[in-house]
Amino acid sequence: MYSLFVGLWKYLFSKNEYFILILGLDNSGKTTLLEQIKTKYTKIPGLPPHKIVPTVGLNIARTQFQDIKLIYWDLGGQTQLRTIWNKFFSDVHAIIYVVDSSDKERFNESKDELEIVINDSKLKDVPLLLFFNKQDLPDSETIEYLSSVFKSVIQSCQLSNSTDQLSSLSSSSPITTRNVQLQPLIACKGEGLEQGINWLSDCLRKNARTIEKSDF
Ligand SMILES: Nc1nc2c(ncn2[C@@H]2O[C@H](COP(=O)(O)OP(=O)(O)OP(=O)(O)O)[C@@H](O)[C@H]2O)c(=O)[nH]1
Ligand SMILES: [Mg+2]
C-alpha cells in the first residue's frame, strides 16, 4: 500500500516530466513523427505510415528518455482544428513544429501559423524544435532555403531573447530565452529524429519552465 502511494506521488509530482506539443499544418507528418517516437523510445512499436489517418482528436505518446519523461501531444493540423491549439499552451514545456518541406505552396501558411503560435504570451520562453520533414522527397526544399522562408520566425525568437536580456539587466530578473533548433527530418524513417529529441531534452534539462500542477 505504501509503495503504491509513493508510486502515485512520484507519478503526480515528478519534476523530470515534460509535456511537448506537436503542431504543424495538416499532412506535414506530425502523427508519423509521433509513431516513430513510440517505435524508437517505447517498448511498443508505433503504427506504420500506411495505417495513420488524419488526426481529429489528440494522440499521445509517453516516453522515458534517459533520466526524463517526455509526454508528447499530437494535435490535428486541419484549419478548423488549429483553433484549439492554444488551449494546450499553458501546459507545455516545449513545442515541436513540423513542416512539409515539399509543400511549397503552403510554406507561407505554415510560417504564418507558427508566428501565431510563438507570439502567444502563454508560450513565452518555451523552446521550439522546427522539423523540416519529408526530406526524402525529390522536390523537398533544402534546410538553407527553408531557413530563409522561416527567417522572420527565427529572428523574432532571437529578438525576444535580446529584449528579455536587456530588460533583465535593469530589473535584475532572470534572463529568459527561447531556444530554437532547425532540424531536417524524414519522419517515416525516423531520420533526424534522434538529433532533434537530444537537443530538446538538453534544453528541458537546463531550463524548463515550471507549470503549476493545478493547471492540469
Ligand atoms: N515521403 C514522406 N512522407 C511522409 C513523411 N512523413 C509523413 N509522410 C506522409 O505524409 C502524410 C501525412 O502524414 P501524417 O503524419 O498523417 O500528417 P499529420 O501532420 O499528422 O496530419 P494531420 O493529422 O491531418 O494534421 C502521410 O501520407 C504520411 O505517410 C516523410 O518523412 N516522408
Ligand atoms: Mg495527425
| ipTM score for this prediction | 0.99
Between 47 and 9, name the one with better pLDDT. 47
49 lines ligand 1 (CB under 6 A): yes
Q: Check the annotation: does 30 bind a ligand.
A: yes
Ligand 1 within 6 A of 32 CB? yes
Q: Which atom of ligand 1 is nearest to the CA of 74?
A: 20
Q: How far apart are CA 10 and CA 26, in angstroms?
A: 36
C-alpha–C-alpha distance, residues 134 and 64, integer Å: 26
Give distance in angstroms: CA of 77 to centre of ligand 2: 7
Q: How far is the CA of 50 from the centre of ligand 2 (A)?
A: 12
Least confident residue range of 32-41, 44-53, 163-172, 191-200: 163-172
Q: Is the CB of 136 under 6 A from ligand 1?
A: yes
According to the annotation, is 133 in a ligand binding site? Answer: yes
Count how many Cα atoms sit within 13 Å of the Cα of residue 102 in the half-sphere of its side chain.
Answer: 13
Please report the atom of ligand 1 found closest to the CA of residue 55: 23
Q: Is the beta carbon of 46 within 6 A of some atom in ligand 1?
A: no
**Binding site annotation covers 77?**
yes
Residue listed under C-alpha cell 519529408: 134
pLDDT tens digit string along 2-44? 666 656 555 555 568 999 999 999 999 999 999 999 999 999 9
Q: If DSSP codes are grouped into helix, strand and coil, which group holds residue 71? A: strand
What ranges do the domains of the chain cover?
A: 14-159+177-209
This prediction has a pTM of 0.88
Q: Which of 89-98, 147-156, 162-171, 205-214 has the lowest mean pLDDT?
A: 162-171
Q: What is the pLDDT of residue 157?
A: 78
* Burial class of residue 34 (count of CB atoms within 10 Å of its CB; 0-12, 13-18, 19+): buried
Superfamily name and number for 14-159+177-209 = P-loop containing nucleotide triphosphate hydrolases (3.40.50.300)
